[in-house]
Amino acid sequence: MVFEKKRRYHNLDAMRGLAAICVIAVHFRDYFSPSAHLAVDFFFVLSGFVIAGRYERELKEGIGFVPFLLLRLNRLWPIYFVGILVGLFQILLLTVIGERTQTILDLILSLISNTIFLPSPTYFFQDQAMQGLFPINGPAWSMFFELFVNMVFALCLFRLSTLVLTMLAFVFAAWLVWAGFHYGTLNIGWEWPSAAGGFPRVMFSFTMGILLSRFLGSQPVWKHSYAAPGLGLSLMLLLLVNANGEGRVLFDLAFSIILAPAIVALGIFVEFPRQLVPAARFLGYISYPLYILHRGPLGIFKIFAGKMGVPSSVAFAAFLVLIVASAYVVAKTVDYLWIEKRKTSKRPSEISAAP
């Protein structure tokens, strides 16, 4: 993660990779990381911080909405499309072996809409349609909200003064609190019944990221320390918290409104020592492909591991090794075939809502 080739945020890179691993854990077994749905709120804060630091000045200087959006699509879509293909393969395979039923109409309409970052409409007229906005590749729901807030940022948020943005953050926080108590959790936005809840999640967290960029983005590192990875481990421990009942929504709100921005702020100032930088870079590099690619292979892997009687913990460890290696290979391949070949769009080390 780099702004204008002056400063790399290795700790933030590492944290997004660790958060992505927690997302995989909760999708493998709910009890492996019960609060991992909050990783998305963390990603949205990071996204606001990085996008504002990377593009706010360029937008003020007149880069334009369309060129900005094309830059974002150029960054997100290639690996996203691989995730759609993998998800489609999973659906077809599970349908063939009798582990899933899927109507042709649902599949075609979901494939078309999900491929272009739009939610599937089939929930509203298919009797057995999935409730998820992105049934082809579940984690893609956050990319829909990522692009939505990116467009809002390029249209108006970057123009607003810090005072107005701060006032908006309070408004969005109140909206988020209402949504949390309305649904009883912040594990919302990914399915049609709670789709509206995704908007306060992304608007508050992204706005907080912009404010962090304005207040702290130009600050120097306080300290390079071997204790720096402790922030990432603390983040993982928070995502392991198992809260129930009213405690669920209270913890979710505390994390999203207070803890996620605070962890990002601390990650700006406390950095990895030189010896640990390669590990941080690796975690940051694979975070987005890890997040967006894991759901399809996981659906297949869990079924066959279950039929073979492999213990859940062993199966998860094996899957994690396989998906990390696959994510790295896909990222390298996309870099070579897409990013490096497009000289008009140099790729910054950015983060999206996926890790």
Residues in the chain: 355
User: Within 10 A of 228 (CB to CB), how many other CB atoms are there?
Assistant: 23
Residue 134 per-residue DSSP state: -
pLDDT for res 105: 87
As a whole number of angstroms, the distance between CA 72 and CA 147 comes to 8
Rounded to an integer, the average pLDDT of 42-66 is 95
Q: Please check whether residue 9 lies inside any domain of the structure.
A: yes
- Domain count across the chain: 1
Where does the pLDDT of residue 354 fall: very low under 50, low under 70, confident under 90, or very high at 90 and above? very low
As a whole number of angstroms, the distance between CA 138 and CA 145 comes to 13
Question: E strands along the chain, which residues?
Answer: 2-3, 7-8, 223-224, 270-271
Domain that includes residue 140, residue range: 2-339
Residue 240 per-residue DSSP state: T
Q: Please check whether residue 58 lies inside any domain of the structure.
A: yes
Rounded to an integer, the average pLDDT of 220-227 is 83
Q: Please check whether residue 7 lies inside any domain of the structure.
A: yes
Whether residue 249 contacts residue 180, with contact meaning beta carbons closer than 8 Å, is answered with yes
Which residue in 220, 64, 339, 341 sits closest to 349, CA to CA? 339
* Residue type at position 274: R
As a whole number of angstroms, the distance between CA 15 and CA 272 comes to 11
Rounded to an integer, the average pLDDT of 255-263 is 98
Q: Please check whether residue 346 lies inside any domain of the structure.
A: no
Q: Please check whether residue 353 lies inside any domain of the structure.
A: no
- pTM comes to 0.93
Q: Please check whether residue 344 lies inside any domain of the structure.
A: no
Question: Tokens 């996203």 identify what position?
Answer: 80
Q: Please check whether residue 348 lies inside any domain of the structure.
A: no
Whether residue 11 contacts residue 235, with contact meaning beta carbons closer than 8 Å, is answered with no
Whether residue 20 contacts residue 39, with contact meaning beta carbons closer than 8 Å, is answered with yes
As a whole number of angstroms, the distance between CA 250 and CA 24 comes to 24
271-315: per-residue pLDDT in tens? 999 999 999 999 999 999 999 999 999 999 999 999 999 999 999
As a whole number of angstroms, the distance between CA 79 and CA 134 comes to 16
Where does the pLDDT of residue 344 fall: very low under 50, low under 70, confident under 90, or very high at 90 and above? very low
**φ and ψ of 35, to 5 deg:** -110, 20
Q: Please check whether residue 149 lies inside any domain of the structure.
A: yes
